[in-house]
Structure 1
Amino acid sequence: MNVIQAVILGLVQGLGEFLPISSSAHLVLLPWFFRWPDPGLTFDVALHLGTLIAVILYFWRDLLELVVCGLFQPRSRDGRLFYYLLVASVPGALFGYLLEDQAATVFRSPLLIAATLTLMGLGLWWADRAGRKSRSMDEITLMDGIIVGLSQALAIIPGVSRSGITMSAGLLTGMRRETAARFSFLMSVPIIAGAALLQLKDLTTAAVNTPFILGVVTSAVVGFLAIKFMLRYLRHGSYLLFTWYRILLALLVVMVFYWRR
């Protein structure tokens, strides 16, 4: 892993984690396109740490208030939301644990990724069209958390996109675009933190080198900017832009796959 590759992968992770385009798909496809070596576990840790830093820095006030209210005022709006977010994180963590081997092998097929990019892109467009887009963060219920949490479990498959499928589920429950995105981003904290902590146990101090540090910094900075962009964009914009991007990327994957045969 050289410095340029580290910066590019950090950029891709920062964008893909918070835009509904699937960071895991891009992290599989980019080395596949350019025939780069597998960055390995060490760099995966770096990328997860970067996006975790990004979402904590952006939402630190919200997160602090949620934790305080969850512990001391559980019946308040933020107290209830804190527990809804915890409940929503359970299915994704469980599926990630049970399907860890498949995620590292069969789910990394370029053609499978092309299919999930396309299907989820169309699903995102449909959810944006079908959703009422009327409910705010104050109106989120436990059932919303369960529905969005169950959808997050499918994000173990590259191309689905954790943010994309949770935003889609949020839209289908009637959330506004910005509300669905905010709830999705807050949900990412426990799931990203859990993934990073599981991998940190195998990390050695010798592995923390220049590419590792650059990966963390790039992923954090770009992730922070991606969150800011997404929340502003969704005040007036739709998800159609991301649907077209996913479909075009899927077509490119299929073309390259059959060209190389």
Structure 2
Amino acid sequence: MGEAMTWLQAIVLGAVQGLTEFLPVSSSGHLRIVSGIFFGDDAGASFTAVTQLGTELAVLIFFARDIARIVVAWFRGLLHAEHRSDLDYRMGWYVIIGTIPVGVLGFLFKDQIRTGARNLWLIATMLIVFALVIAAAEYYGRKVRPLEQLNARDGIIMGSAQALALIPGVSRSGGTISAGLFLGLTREAAARYSFLLAIPAVVASGLFSLPDAFEPAGAGLNASGPQLLVATIIAFAVGYASIAWLLKFVVDHSMYWFVGYRIGLGLIVMALLATGVVSAT
């Protein structure tokens, strides 16, 4: 039986979730690292999934007009064929087809995701390995295609890349943005689609994990209902700010900034593991 989570841990981990959810640095990896190094135990996959509801609420509010426009256009297109060339109608389908890979793989491998995949050696390795993928995407991506040129093939490929984020340390936004850059999209176009694509998968994951998050017999740090609520609210507030920051940042800055950070953090975690300062499990 795990230890009870303290209020300090809930507040810190909620802030970490909000700060890292939309950056290409892996929020699940950061929650695992911070809880392991500073609090001596794992906050757990369920805590991660539930607090992600806070950051997804931030996306829903930040992109409320875009989402409403896409939903209306999608239903209009279903009823009237002449509207099916509309970008918002097509975007609705791209989000749907892009969500299928993570939904299927998340369901099939849910037990592995909650246990073995949270090993700190694996997370540190993925931080470094996927940093090289992001660097390659930044270097080789032409970055010329606007969001208006997104197509079904892009949705499938970026959706498959999003599924890689089921492994802590990879990063949902890192996977989808990198795939978008490889496909020639601009950074801003790739980031915007990445945010929209994350909504169905993360909301479904958070709701699915709610019963487990309240299970006191689980391993790791066990959060109470009020702690989960506060952590989720903090994740929402910090996450909302980080969306606005990232969308502005990617317009004028390269992804290399995140590459350097990921590699540095991965090496630090490996050093702490190798010296026995922190446990891998």
TM over 0.5: yes
Q: Deviations over 1:86-132 (max 9, x none)?
A: 10000011111111111112211211111110011111011011111
8 A Cα contact 2:50 2:210, kept in partner: no
Which of 124, 140, 151 aligns to 2:150? It is 140
Separation in 2 of the partners of 1:201 and 1:162?
23
Match of 2:6 in 1: 2
Secondary structure of 2:252's partner?
A: coil
Question: What TM-score, normalized to structure 2?
Answer: 0.88
Q: Deviations over 1:61-80 (max 9, x none)?
A: 10111111111135021001
Kindly, what percent of the aligned residue pairs are identical?
A: 39
Deviates more, 1:10-19 or 1:140-149: 10-19
Q: Deviations over 1:7-63 (max 9, x none)?
A: 111111112210000011111111211244443466335412211111101101101
Q: Deviations over 1:152-207 (max 9, x none)?
A: 11111111101101000000111000110111001010011110121235566x97
Letter in 1 for 2:178: S
Secondary structure of 2:21's partner?
A: helix
Is 1:128–2:128 an aligned residue pair?
Answer: no
Match of 1:240 in 2: 256
Match of 1:72 in 2: 76
Match of 2:67 in 1: 63
Match of 2:30 in 1: 26
Deviates more, 1:41-50 or 1:95-104: 41-50
Separation in 1 of the partners of 2:224 and 2:116?
29
Is 1:228–2:232 an aligned residue pair?
Answer: no
Is 1:253–2:253 an aligned residue pair?
Answer: no
Secondary structure of 2:178's partner?
A: helix
Letter in 1 for 2:54: G
In structure 2, runs of 5+ residues without a counterpart are 79-83, 217-222
Question: What TM-score, normalized to structure 1?
Answer: 0.94
In structure 1, runs of 5+ residues without a counterpart are none
Separation in 2 of the partners of 1:28 and 1:171?
28
8 A Cα contact 1:132 1:171, kept in partner: yes
- Number of residue pairs matched? 261
Is 1:195–2:205 an aligned residue pair?
Answer: yes
* CA RMSD after TM alignment: 1.9
Is 1:151–2:151 an aligned residue pair?
Answer: no
Letter in 2 for 1:226: S
Q: Deviations over 1:209-237 (max 9, x none)?
A: 43222201110011111110100001110
Separation in 2 of the partners of 1:225 and 1:243?
21
Separation in 1 of the partners of 2:44 and 2:251?
38
